[in-house]
């Protein structure tokens, strides 16, 4: 999920929901996610297989529906695998050098930051990061996990340092330092931003309730372990419970502290005004007005000013690894069921699906290219629209699981089969999850919620991915049938762990 990432996304949240009290949105956002997390925990306990919801929905409803909904997740992750290296170079690295320029007074750092706006430079450096990520994918799973734990450990240290900086200063100190060093003033930015918004920057209950949608989307990632559950040793009731159900609770504590401390030091009105000017191309500041950049005005220590944006840089590398690793497991599952060529289910002696990694690498490099030069993947701004429609299908599968696959449900671990009266708890939470997921999907694109005009082409693109999924499955089904391979039999049982 990324414990530092909201120091970056707060810019877009502030611009989209200027009157939202973001710290107050954390608890409601957590509650909504806990319902979804419970469903993923139970299903990954009942069917701990590589492929996650593709396996569950395929065995409960139908493999064509499973492929349709899961390919949306994969399509989004494919774009993210190239998008996060791009973000690391185009937004995080410039903050690193800008902060060094401010704290050291050495303007050569500022020149480096400016040079990083060159598309060719961004593409080359993004490709370098992606090459590192691809190389990581050829390691045994255990080593990939160790790398991710190390990456998290470094970010945790930086998070603690960042919060320490926040609690050791106040808004008055920030305002004085910013006015002295930035070439503009806090009041000037607040005035300009307020004028652009057209109304006072304050808190309203209506805006805060809308902001819940944004905050809860920050939780995305807690269910990723479900996609490689078959590769995790131990009892899935415990491992998936910790990974999927407990981690959002921990994350909620982290982001609440993060939100509250940033509001306390930089001020809600300033963060909103600076963000509004930035997204409208009118910011007087040299880089995106993330708190990771703004800390350069509350410290004269270059190391401290360097660490926080560097932590965000590492966060993007971590995201690139996650969103490369997870879809390779989904593609493996597709191939195992013969929806894609069986060769993509081939693994080496270390368990690496190398054909899948190579295929995905080609797509990811293409993703980097179009992110830098073409912007073809702008539809990913609507990724949450498609993401939560697919999540609603998973919730539906969970709700009917005890009735549609009664044999499999009743043979599941006891924790999965709990009931309230005669109704399985999984059915209750799955039913609630359907409506919550569809509501989030709707809220992610409606102008009244987002503050931005709806783009029908981007909406259609997400639905088009689902249609393509059905077409691919139909072609595979007919092809395998012509070869005498009954795909429907393969999906009647669970694949091996």
Alpha carbon distances (Å) from 469 to 73, 472, 476, 487: 11, 5, 11, 16
On whether the CB atoms of residues 434 and 399 are closer than 8 A, the answer is yes
Dihedral angle at the C-alpha atoms of 152, 154, 155, 159, nearest 10 degrees? 130
The mean pLDDT of the chain is 87
**Is 497 inside a domain boundary?**
no
**Is 495 inside a domain boundary?**
no
On whether the CB atoms of residues 42 and 198 are closer than 8 A, the answer is no
pLDDT classification of 157: cutoffs 50, 70, 90 = very high
On whether the CB atoms of residues 129 and 88 are closer than 8 A, the answer is yes
| pLDDT at residue 144 greater than cutoff 60 | yes
Residue 256's domain comprises 6-490
| pLDDT at residue 492 greater than cutoff 70 | no
Neighbours of 73 (CB within 10 A): 26
Domains contained in the chain, number: 1
Which has more confidence, 458 or 22? 22
Report how far residue 143's alpha carbon sits from residue 231's, in angstroms, rounded to the nearest whole number: 13
Residue 351, Ramachandran bin (φ over 0: left; ψ between -120 and 50: alpha; else beta): left
- 394: Cα within 13 Å, side-chain hemisphere: 32
Distance of CA 344 to the CA centre of its chain: 26
Name the token pair of 4.
Answer: 């530092």
Residue 494 confidence (pLDDT): 60
The mean pLDDT value for 240-267 works out to 92
The pTM of the full predicted model, rounded to 2 decimals, is 0.87
Residue 449 confidence (pLDDT): 59
Name the token pair of 306.
Answer: 């360097």
- Helices within 168-246 (DSSP H only): 171-181, 186-197, 205-217, 236-240
295-327 per-position pLDDT tens digit: 999 999 999 999 999 999 999 999 999 988 888
**Is 372 inside a domain boundary?**
yes
Report how far residue 474's alpha carbon sits from residue 455's, in angstroms, rounded to the nearest whole number: 30
CATH value at residue 61:
1.20.1740.10
Residue 105 burial (10 A CB sphere; 0-12, 13-18, 19+): exposed
What percent of the chain clears pLDDT 90, i.e. is strictly above it?
48
179-198 per-position pLDDT tens digit: 999 999 999 999 999 999 88
392-441 per-position pLDDT tens digit: 999 999 999 999 999 889 988 899 999 998 999 999 999 999 999 898 88
For residue 98, give every residue at least 6 positions away whose Cβ sits within 8 Å of its Cβ, in sequence order, or none. 109, 110, 113, 286, 287, 293, 296
Report how far residue 367's alpha carbon sits from residue 374's, in angstroms, rounded to the nearest whole number: 10
| pLDDT at residue 272 greater than cutoff 90 | yes
428-453 per-position pLDDT tens digit: 999 999 999 898 888 777 766 566 67
pLDDT classification of 384: cutoffs 50, 70, 90 = confident
Neighbours of 132 (CB within 10 A): 13
**Is 58 inside a domain boundary?**
yes
């Amino acid at each position: 999920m990324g414990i530092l990432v909201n120091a970056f996304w707060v810019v877009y949240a502030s611009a989209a929901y200027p009157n939202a009290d973001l710290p107050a949105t954390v608890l409601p956002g957590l509650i909504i996610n806990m319902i979804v997390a419970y469903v993923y925990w139970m299903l990954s306990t009942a069917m701990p297989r590589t492929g996650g919801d593709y396996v569950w929905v395929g065995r409960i409803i139908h493999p064509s529906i499973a492929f349709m909904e899961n390919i949306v997740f994969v399509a989004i992750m494919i774009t993210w695998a190239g998008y996060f290296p791009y973000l690391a170079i185009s937004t995080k690295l410039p903050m690193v050098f800008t902060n060094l320029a401010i704290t050291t007074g050495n303007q050569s750092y500022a020149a480096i930051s400016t040079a990083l706006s060159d598309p060719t430079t961004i593409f080359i450096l993004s490709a370098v990061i992606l090459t590192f990520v691809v190389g990581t994918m050829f390691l045994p799973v255990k080593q990939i996990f160790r790398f991710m734990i190390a990456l998290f450990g470094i970010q945790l240290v930086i998070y603690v340092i960042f919060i320490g900086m926040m609690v050791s200063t106040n808004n008055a100190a920030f305002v004085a330092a910013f006015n002295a060093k930035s070439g503009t003033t806090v009041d000037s930015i607040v005035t300009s931003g307020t004028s652009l918004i057209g109304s006072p920057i304050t808190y309203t209950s209506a805006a805060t309730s809308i902001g819940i949608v944004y905050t809860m989307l920050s939780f995305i990632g807690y269910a990723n372990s479900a996609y490689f559950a078959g590769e995790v040793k131990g009892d899935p009731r415990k491992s998936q419970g910790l990974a999927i159900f407990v981690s959002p609770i921990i994350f909620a504590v982290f982001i609440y502290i993060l939100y509250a401390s940033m509001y306390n030091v930089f001020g809600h009105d300033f963060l909103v005004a600076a963000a509004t000017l930035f997204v409208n191309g009118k910011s007087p500041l040299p880089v995106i007005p993330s708190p990771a950049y703004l800390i350069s005005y509350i410290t004269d220590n270059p190391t401290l000013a360097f660490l926080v944006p560097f932590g965000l840089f590492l966060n993007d590398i971590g995201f690139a690894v996650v969103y490369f690793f997870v879809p390779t497991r989904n593609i493996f599952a597709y191939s195992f069921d013969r929806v894609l060529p069986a060769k993509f289910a081939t693994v080496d002696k270390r368990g690496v699906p190398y054909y899948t990694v190579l295929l995905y690498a080609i797509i990811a490099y293409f993703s980097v290219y179009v992110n830098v030069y073409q912007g073809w993947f702008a539809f990913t701004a609507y990724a949450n629209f498609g993401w939560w429609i697919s999540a609603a299908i998973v919730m539906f599968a969970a709700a009917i699981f005890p009735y549609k696959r009664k044999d499999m449900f009743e043979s599941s671990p006891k924790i999965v089969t709990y009931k309230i009266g005669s109704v399985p708890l999984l059915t209750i939470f799955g039913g609630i999850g359907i409506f919550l997921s569809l509501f989030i999907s709707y809220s992610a694109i409606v102008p009244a919620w987002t503050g931005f005009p709806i783009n029908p082409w981007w909406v259609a693109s997400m639905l088009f991915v689902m249609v393509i999924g059905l077409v691919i499955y139909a072609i595979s089904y007919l092809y395998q049938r012509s070869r005498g391979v009954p795909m429907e039999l393969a999906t009647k049982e669970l694949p091996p762990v």
